[in-house]
Amino acid sequence: MSKTLFDKVWDAHVIKKIENGPQVLFIDRHLVHEVTSPVAFLGLKNRGIKVRFPERTFATADHNTPTRNQHLPVADPLSANQLKMLEQNAAEHGIPYWGLGHEKNGIVHVIGPENGITVPGATIVCGDSHTSTHGAFGAIAFGIGTSEVEMVLATQCILQPKPKRMRINVHGKLNPGVTPKDVALYIISRLTTSGATGYFVEYAGEVFREMSMEGRMTVCNLSIEMGARGGMMSPDEKTFEYIKGREHTPKGEAWDTAMEYWDTLKTDDDAIFDKEVSFNGEDIEPMITYGTNPGMGVGITMGIPTADAVEGGAATYAKSLAYMDFQEGESMIGKPIDFVFLGSCTNGRIEDFRAFTGIVKGRKKADHVTAWLVPGSHKVEAAIREEGLLDILIEAGFELREPGCSACLAMNDDKIPAGKYAVSTSNRNFEGRQGPGARTLLASPLVAAAAAVTGKVTDPRELLELATA
């Protein structure tokens, strides 16, 4: 029978099918961080058992860590305690722990691929909803809750009903100034935040094939924002080249064995999806959100849509605009902004810093803008220095922080103050996500850079033209 990419990876991991119940899925890699793990480890203790496969488990500190002075003791007692507990739990169970300051430390979904933990055809879980990022490599990756973290620690398995299959095709080519983030925000704006609920998405078409691995990660990362369980892409030469030689990827004979499996990871020609949608790359322009869910995005030159054109009904729409203090039909271009956040597992990789730097080069940060540039990991930070990007950023009036989730969820000190506008490259613009009362405009690193130097929402293509002229 013909199978989709998703079916092939899923079926290869089923240990047992329970009649009228969920399936037992083996998990190849489990990523653990300080916030969703303490209660799960406590559960193991109460059961008197150990982590079943510590060598398949990897721990990092990222969610509530400070992005300044990481060499000093962590000031916030709650976060200091969570870090201490993770360190102890990791030591007790023999799990590699890349804590603050460790050269491999960083955001869980950035360090997974960087260190070769993420490989094609694997099943990967983590107690964070944006685990879907790893789907860029042809892995089935999804976020889990704390009781499931305990389940995977204890048994390396998870009980899951099999999701339905959906394919999203984006054909053609992208216009200059249009990035993977824009592609994802465009899809979510079309499908709404519940458009893929109950599905596992496969992304296909020329636009994704042309994308770098970093870009594919950005797209898969945002799958969850359209309601999908996860999103993935077929591995290809780019994928294998990216992972080859990384610390945890198979080597030698093991690589060849894995490759035999990886070569099969394509959707069969006549495989059937439960749902399929197609878009054209040429139709996409740089995107920005105006409301309080990631589905409320528009092309940057288009105005805020009218209530009748938006999902969720007039009440949600009105509440959302009131929170943002925007009016129906207004233009987004020219809106003054206060903060810029470049970072997160959505857009905190080297390519994102290159894009940002490309625009701010030779310009100056607008005086009234506070900019938080937070690399996704120490490796990203090192690359920023090595490639000379840091000098350009400093020259333009920016500074670089230390890695972590930072203002993506604002669990640490990096909170956008109430009422302030932030152009953010992260993934959620919910009320209060970036700090109580904070107003988030989600966008690409290019749009963030254009906002940082002009102090207002600006079409980055205008600055790109200047740069190439």
Partner 1 sequence: MAYDKFDVLTSSAVPLPIENVDTDQIIPARFLKATEREGFGDNLFRDWRYHPDNSPKEHFVLNNPIYSGKILIGGKNFGSGSSREHAAWAVYDYGFRCVVSSFFADIFRNNCLNVGVLPVQVSAAFLQQIFEAIEKDPKAEIKIDLPEQSITILATGAKETFDINPYKKDNMLNGFDDIDFLLNLEDDITAFNAQNPL
Nearer to ligand SF4 by C-beta: 34 or 285?
Answer: 34
Contact between 28 and partner 1 by CB under 8 A: the answer reads: yes
Q: Which stretch binds partner 1 (CB under 8 A): 87-95, 128-136, 147-155, 281-289?
A: 147-155
Residue 151 contact, options partner 1, ligand SF4, none, Cβ 5-8 Å cut-off depending on partner type: partner 1
Q: 6 and 202 in contact (C-beta within 8 Å)?
A: yes
Residue 316 contact, options partner 1, ligand SF4, none, Cβ 5-8 Å cut-off depending on partner type: none
Residue 350 contact, options partner 1, ligand SF4, none, Cβ 5-8 Å cut-off depending on partner type: none
Nearest alpha-carbon partner for 234 in 28, 5, 3, 4: 5
Nearer to partner 1 by C-beta: 157 or 207?
Answer: 157
Q: How far is the CB of 42 from partner 1 (least distance, A)?
A: 6
Nearer to partner 1 by C-beta: 82 or 406?
Answer: 82
HEC letters along 340-372: EEECHHHHCCHHHHHHHHHHHCCCCCCCCCEEE
Q: Contact with partner 1 (CB under 8 A): which of 16, 68, 171, 385? A: 16
- β partners of residue 125: 30, 142
Residue 28 contact, options ligand SF4, partner 1, none, Cβ 5-8 Å cut-off depending on partner type: partner 1
Which residues ranging from 222 to 281 are in contact with partner 1 (CB under 8 A)? 250, 254, 257-258, 260-261
Burial of 46 (0-12, 13-18, 19+ CB in 10 A): exposed
Which residues ranging from 398 to 417 are in contact with partner 1 (CB under 8 A)? none
Q: 303 and 197 in contact (C-beta within 8 Å)?
A: no
Q: Kind of pairing, strands 14-17 and 140-143?
A: unpaired
Q: How far is the CB of 221 from ligand SF4 (least distance, A)?
A: 8
Q: How far is the CB of 234 from partner 1 (least distance, A)?
A: 17
Output the CA angle 216-423-295, nearest 5 degrees. 60
Q: Report the chain's terminal Cα–Cα distance, integer Å.
A: 55
Nearer to ligand SF4 by C-beta: 89 or 218?
Answer: 218
Burial of 83 (0-12, 13-18, 19+ CB in 10 A): buried
Amino acid at the residue 114:
E
Q: In what order do the strands lie in the sheet with 421-424?
A: 370-373, 339-342, 421-424, 439-442
Contact between 75 and partner 1 by CB under 8 A: the answer reads: no
Contact between 26 and partner 1 by CB under 8 A: the answer reads: yes
Nearer to ligand SF4 by C-beta: 127 or 299?
Answer: 127
Alpha-carbon torsion angle 297, 302, 307, 312, nearest 10: -20
Residue 91 contact, options partner 1, ligand SF4, none, Cβ 5-8 Å cut-off depending on partner type: none
Q: How far is the CB of 425 from partner 1 (least distance, A)?
A: 31
Nearer to partner 1 by C-beta: 160 or 434?
Answer: 160
Q: Specify the DSSP element, H or E, that contains 425.
A: none
Residue 467 contact, options ligand SF4, partner 1, none, Cβ 5-8 Å cut-off depending on partner type: none
Q: How far is the CB of 114 from partner 1 (least distance, A)?
A: 18
Q: 222 and 186 in contact (C-beta within 8 Å)?
A: no
Q: 418 and 259 in contact (C-beta within 8 Å)?
A: no
Q: Contact with partner 1 (CB under 8 A): which of 32, 83, 110, 122? A: 122
- Spatial separation of the C-alpha atoms in residues 326 and 322, rounded to whole Å: 6
Binding mask of the shown chain, residues 148 to 187, with x at each position contacting partner 1 by CB under 8 A: --xx--xxxx-x----------------------------
Nearer to partner 1 by C-beta: 28 or 128?
Answer: 28
129 SS3 class: helix
Contact between 52 and partner 1 by CB under 8 A: the answer reads: yes
Q: How far is the CB of 78 from ligand SF4 (least distance, A)?
A: 16
- β partners of residue 339: 370, 422
Which residues, including other chains, have CB under 8 Å from residue 235's CB and lie 6 or more apart? 120, 121, 137, 138, 262, 265
- What number of chain residues touch partner 1 (CB under 8 A)? 36
Which parts of this chain interact with ligand SF4 (CB under 6 A)?
62-63, 107-109, 128, 130, 344-345, 405, 408-409, 427
Contact between 34 and partner 1 by CB under 8 A: the answer reads: no
Residue 258 contact, options partner 1, ligand SF4, none, Cβ 5-8 Å cut-off depending on partner type: partner 1
Reduced DSSP (H G I as helix, E B as strand, rest coil) percent helix, strand, coil of the chain, to 5: 40, 20, 45
3: left (phi over 0), alpha (psi -120 to 50) or beta: beta
- Spatial separation of the C-alpha atoms in residues 280 and 304, rounded to whole Å: 22
- Spatial separation of the C-alpha atoms in residues 427 and 278, rounded to whole Å: 23
Q: How is residue 456 annotated by DSSP?
A: B
Q: How far is the CB of 259 from ligand SF4 (least distance, A)?
A: 30
Instruction: Name the residues that contact partner 1, by CB under 8 A.
Output: 15-16, 18-22, 24, 26, 28, 38-39, 42-43, 46-47, 49, 52-53, 119, 121-122, 147, 150-151, 154-157, 159, 250, 254, 257-258, 260-261
